[in-house]
Structure 1
Amino acid sequence: MSKTSIIVMVLGGIAAAAAVDAYVNAITGEPAGADAGDAEMVAMGRQVYAAHCADCHGADLEGQPDWRRRLPDGTLPAPPHDASGHTWHHSDRMLFDYTKLGGGALAPPGFKSAMPGLGEVLSDTEIWAVLAFIKSRWPAAIQTRQERLNKRQ
């Protein structure tokens, strides 16, 4: 198979995945991602974050003190979601799944996470909105870098 054929197949697969994602979004009304440029989504996310996330991750997304050092129970304190943390090192899909399913569901063997799954508490739309709110608080350069991760998925 030629290099051109492989490129065409890969691009076709990406286009098909994007079309399916758009179709599912149109049918379900659920957003397909966290759009930091959508003022309505960001406003909803701000409210949901304040009600369900700020107790651990901080009202200003600052996280808990000394968040890189394990606690006596083996878990890590809640990390910041601002530019000083590592949230932006992950794709929207990974962040969505981590929030919905909880840290334990996605962690490697032996990793102990205190992050609960919020899928029973928040709708998918609310989770995407929280992520949009968090992303809206990042500097433009970090938003751009994180968006590259989304395009790779």
Structure 2
Amino acid sequence: MGVLRSFLWTNVASGLVVGGLIFAAYAIWHYSGAEATSRVSADVISQGRQIYADQCAACHGANLEGQPDWRSPLPSGRLPAPPHDASGHTWHHPDDVLFRIVKEGTAAIVGGGYESDMPGFGDVLSDPEIRAVLSYIKSTWPERERGYQESVSDAN
């Protein structure tokens, strides 16, 4: 009986150690991943700022302010370019929607014959460049808007 008890305790203890190591590895992976996604490097934000200036500012404004009266349709029936600062609605959308809008264009995402002057940039920008632009835009938002946008992104 002593040998069996010793054998069982050795295996239980080994299982606890291995289980603990697996949990610790998972916790490190999970929480470092969350840190990495919430803290974008200054280099990525700087790259995004430059891409924004080159590709987006002509319509959305050098300071992310959008076009005047962006909620009122133009004579064409299309809406002006919205702001990407906290006064706009960009921060209401999850990351996957924002990415697709930049890559495919607003009309492709909205569908149903919706017309927009926002083209897709999938042929102009790589996926990492699109993410850099979005990281730059998000870096300008106050904490409340960033927090809200992160929560809707996490919910998806």
TM-score by length of 1: 0.76
Match of 2:118 in 1: 115
Letter in 1 for 2:104: L
The answer on whether the counterparts of 2:107 and 2:113 sit within 8 Å (CA) in structure 1 is no
Q: Percent identity?
A: 54
1:32-86 deviations in whole A, cap 9, x for unaligned? x975632111010000000000000000000000000111111100000000000
Q: For 2:152 and 2:105, how far apart are their aligned partners in 1?
A: 21
Pick from 40, 43, 59 the counterpart of residue 43 of structure 2: 40
Match of 1:65 in 2: 68
Matching of residues 1-153 of structure 1 within 5 Å: 37-153=40-156
The CA RMSD over aligned residues, in Å, is 2.0
Higher RCO (Cα < 8 Å, 6 or more apart): 1
The answer on whether the counterparts of 1:36 and 1:136 sit within 8 Å (CA) in structure 2 is no
Computing the radius of gyration from Cα coordinates, the structure with the larger value is 2
Instruction: Flag the 1:34–1:43 CA change in 2: closer, same or farther, 3 A.
Output: farther
The answer on whether the counterparts of 2:107 and 2:115 sit within 8 Å (CA) in structure 1 is yes
Q: Which runs of 4+ in 1 moved over 6 A?
A: none
The answer on whether the counterparts of 1:36 and 1:135 sit within 8 Å (CA) in structure 2 is no
Indicate the structure with greater helix content. 2
User: For structure 1, which runs of at least 5 residues remain unmatched after alignment?
Assistant: 1-18, 23-32
Letter in 1 for 2:91: W
Number of aligned positions between the proteins: 124
The answer on whether the counterparts of 1:83 and 1:142 sit within 8 Å (CA) in structure 2 is yes
Q: For 2:123 and 2:54, how far apart are their aligned partners in 1?
A: 15
User: For structure 2, which runs of at least 5 residues remain unmatched after alignment?
Assistant: 1-29
